[in-house]
Amino acid sequence: MELRPIFSTLRRHKTTAWLLILEIALTCAIVCNAVFLIGQRLQRMDLPSGIAEHELVQIQLGPIGKNADAKAQSATDLAALRQIAGVRQAAMTNQMPFSCCSDSTGSIMLDPHQQQGTAQVAEFMGGAGLLSTLGAELVEGRDFQPSEYVDFDAAVQALHDGNARGLPQEIILTRGLAERLWPGQEALGRTVYFGDALPFRVIGVVASLARPKQLEQGVQYSAVLPIRMTVADGSSYILRTAPQDREAILKAAVAKLKQLDPNRVVLVKRTYDDARREYFAGDRAMAGILVGVILALLTVTALGIVGLASFWVGQRRRTIGVRRALGATRGDILHYFQAENFLLASFGIALGMVLAYGINLFLMLHYELPRLPGIYFPVGALVLWGIGQLAVLGPALRAANVPPVVATRSV
């Protein structure tokens, strides 16, 4: 296809051509960045938690003031919950991966004299069976032994008295955290320090266990401590069951707990899937809004192309008629308009890519976003070329249908 006639025609419609190029460029820039943002959100929503997500339900009861019986009551509750048909395992934990509200963290150190912590670590605490109830996969070492567990209130008292012996001596880390602390080396048997140089020996490594919040601190930087929790510390009951039984188990468990003490308040009762969905609800909403904006933008741009192309076709009816009379086929006319649109879109895309890069730089500065990956440029170009061709098809076909006789007619 000869491009020279297209150029010379466009030169006569400089302003409108530039406007179209500008519109395509702006659209390209915004769409590239919006798609990138969507990708970021989806990636976040897809993060692995490391636990048996579809088999867990969570129940949190309101703490009952200063209840000296909290320990006994939690034990009774757990025993009763394990009795429910369909409950495979039950445990208490202070927090769950990707879920709101509870989030206990501490600064981990490799050396007791270190001035600043090496990483901010999420501290999971719970009694016997926590890891297996959650379904976190132990890849190295062992789980805690019964003698290694310490009660939460005793641990707090020991911490307050500065008595390191009252605290647990063992810890289990995630593989991600172990890799961060000792890249490429064995983690088992090493010692880490928390708080005022309190030592903990690494006895196990789990494949993965995501932290509850503050994901920017390192999604996988979690540790498990052998500390028995009770209802009084705001901890939750976690039940593991078959995926299809979750709703029924949740109901039965709440009924059982209320039966044990009708005055208790249930603060949270949900399947883990719901907890996770709730946690990422904001990301999902943002991704939805971005999709909406992209669709609206592409629609507006397509409508703009249709409008301008129709106008050009109307204006050039005579010229088209002359060309047809001089032997140009319908295909020639069709291709002419398609090529013209392709050319304008290419200019727009080239300009748009520069703009997209600029906007991305701005976002990187102000919103801590990563760099736009190169793959977005060719994909964005293909999409806009496609939309341009789709939008111009109607007007171009109309142009192709202009009969040669128009040339001889005076308007």
Partner 1 sequence: MEEYEMFGYYLDLALRSLKRNRVLTALMVLALALGIGATITTLTVLRLLSGDPLPQKSAQLFYPQVDPYPAGKPFSRSGQMPWLMSYVDAMNLLHAGKAQRQTALARSRVKVMPKTQEGKPFYADSVMTTADFFPMFDAPFQYGAGWSAADDDSRAQVAVIAGFLNDKLFGGANSVGRMIRIEDHDFRVIGVLKPWAPQPRFYGLHLGGRDYGNGEGVFMPLLGARADGIGPSMMMSYGPGASMEHLETSPSIWLGVWLELPDASAVSAYRLFLADYAQQQVALGRFQKSRTALSGLMQWLRNEHVVPDDARLQTGMAFGFLLICVVNTVGLLLAKCLRRSREIGVRRALGASRSAIFGQFMAEAAIVGVAGGALGLVFAELGLWGIRHQPAQYASLAHLNLPMFLFTFVVALAASLVAGLLPAWRACAVAPAPQLKAN
Residues that bind partner 1 (CB under 8 A): 15-16, 19-20, 22-23, 26-27, 29-30, 34, 37, 62, 64-66, 107, 115-117, 156-157, 159-162, 195-196, 263, 265, 267, 278, 281-282, 285-286, 289-290, 293, 296-297, 299-301, 303-304, 306-308, 310-312, 314-315, 363, 367
Crossing angle for the helix pair 70-83 and 246-260, nearest 10 degrees? 140
CB of 279 to partner 1, least distance (A): 10
The least distance separating partner 1 from the CB of residue 189, rounded to whole angstroms, comes to 26
How many degrees, rounded to 5, is the angle at CA 217 between CA 215 and CA 219? 45
Q: Which is nearer to partner 1, 72 or 296 (CB)?
A: 296
Measured CA angle at 33 (ends 389, 43), to 5 deg: 115
Give, in order, the Cα–Cα distances in Å from 115 to each of 112, 119, 194, 196, 309.
9, 12, 12, 11, 68
Least separation in angstroms between residue 161's CB and partner 1 is 8
Which residue lies nearer to partner 1 by CB, 84 or 159? Answer: 159
**CA 89, CA 77: separation in Å to the nearest integer?**
13
Would you state the structure tokens that stand for residue 179, as one six-digit string?
A: 């890799």
- Rounded least distance, CB 306 to partner 1, Å: 7
Q: How far apart are CA 24 and CA 348, in angstroms?
A: 5
* Residue partners of 364: CB distance under 8 A and separation at least 6: 370, 371
Give the residue with the Cβ less far from partner 1, 198 or 249: 198
Least distance to partner 1, CB of residue 282, Å: 6
Residue number with CB closer to partner 1 (28 or 223)? 28
Helices (H) and strands (E) in the chain, counts: 12, 13
> Of the two residues 260 and 285, which places its CB atom closer to partner 1 in the complex?
285
Write the burial class of residue 46 (CB in 10 Å: 0-12 exposed, 13-18 middle, 19+ buried): exposed
Q: How far is the CB of 160 from partner 1 (least distance, A)?
A: 5
Adjacent-strand bridge partners of 90:
239
Nearer to partner 1, 70 or 87 (CB): 70
In the complex with partner 1, the residue whose CB is nearer, 172 or 308, is 308
In the complex, what is the shortest distance from the CB of residue 210 to partner 1, in angstroms, rounded to a whole number? 20
Q: How far is the CB of 199 from partner 1 (least distance, A)?
A: 14
- Of 303 and 354, CB closest to partner 1: 303
**56-61, strands of its sheet edge to edge:** 89-93, 236-240, 56-61, 266-271
Identify whether the C-beta of residue 210 lies closer than 8 Å to the C-beta of residue 264. Answer: no
Nearest to residue 254, comparing CAs of 244, 264, 242, 245? 264
